[in-house]
């Protein structure tokens, strides 16, 4: 199907065109004219409206859950392994003061929580609102934040591989669960 007179929106290398026949409320954004794929403008307009205050509120909830679960994992369950590793390091390892460590982990959790709910809000128009979409957003956070950082830790050998793997696997549960709770707060 050939579009009518078209107006280029972006450069020639990435040819998005707006069909001249379909301007107005029922317009559509065509991908390359030969592709025949159209996205209704209503969908594009709806995708632009993210409720930022709800993203931050849901992100706060998600970050609180992430922080509590990570604290329980590392401060209770894995504490003996961490202490053994610190003793093995001897004078090589300089521990960060506990107050600084808590603030850094709060910031880490806050960034992941807000980013996860923001990702949920961004993919919601495509995948639909609900727990499945929230779990997808949580898996994205797990992959981008947990997996990549622990691959780096293993590569640098700055923490033991068993502790990195334990945290990474626990993150597979923690991140989707936290984003699921944060996404429950989000409304457009």
d(C-alpha 120, C-alpha 128), whole Å: 10
Q: What is the pLDDT of residues 140-169, one digit of tens each?
A: 999 999 999 999 988 988 888 888 899 999
Confidence label for 16 from pLDDT (cuts 50, 70 and 90): very low
Looking at residue 116, its pLDDT comes to: 96
Q: What is the pLDDT of residues 61-106, one digit of tens each?
A: 999 999 999 999 988 898 888 888 888 888 777 778 888 989 999 9
Confidence label for 183 from pLDDT (cuts 50, 70 and 90): very high
Looking at residue 15, its pLDDT comes to: 37
| Highest-confidence segment of 5-9, 19-23, 34-38, 51-55 | 51-55
Residue 99: phi and psi, rounded to 5, are: -65, -40
Task: Answer yes or no: is pLDDT of 24 > 50.
Answer: no
d(C-alpha 20, C-alpha 30), whole Å: 11
Instruction: Name the token pair of 181.
Output: 């709770």
> What is the Cβ-side half-sphere exposure of residue 101, based on CA atoms within 13 angstroms?
9
Dihedral (Cα; 88, 93, 99, 104), 10-degree rounding = -110
Q: What is the mean pLDDT of residues 119-140?
A: 93
Quote the percentage of the chain above a pLDDT of 90. 47
Task: Answer yes or no: is pLDDT of 137 > 90.
Answer: yes
The answer to whether the CB of 87 falls within 8 A of the CB of 150 is no
Confidence label for 134 from pLDDT (cuts 50, 70 and 90): very high
Instruction: Give me the helix-helix angle, 52-72 and 161-185, nearest 10°.
Output: 150
């Amino acid at each position: 199907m050939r579009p009518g007179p078209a107006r280029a929106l972006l450069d020639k290398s990435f040819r998005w065109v707006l069909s001249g026949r379909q301007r107005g409320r029922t317009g559509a954004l065509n991908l390359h004219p030969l592709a025949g794929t159209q996205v209704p403008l209503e969908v594009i307009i709806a995708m632009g409206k993210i409720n930022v205050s709800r993203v931050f509120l849901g992100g706060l909830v998600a970050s609180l859950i992430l922080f509590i679960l990570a604290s329980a994992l590392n401060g209770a369950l894995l504490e003996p392994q961490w202490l053994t590793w610190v003793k093995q390091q001897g004078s090589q390892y300089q521990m960060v003061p506990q107050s600084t460590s808590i603030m850094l982990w709060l910031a880490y959790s806050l960034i992941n929580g807000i980013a996860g709910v923001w990702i949920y809000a961004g993919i919601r128009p495509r995948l639909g609102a609900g727990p499945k979409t929230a779990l997808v957003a949580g898996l994205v956070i797990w992959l981008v934040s947990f997996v990549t950082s622990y691959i780096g830790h293993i590569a640098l050998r700055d923490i033991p591989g068993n502790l990195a793997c334990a945290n990474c696997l626990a993150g597979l549960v923690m991140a989707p669960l936290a984003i699921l709770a944060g996404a429950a707060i989000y409304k457009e």
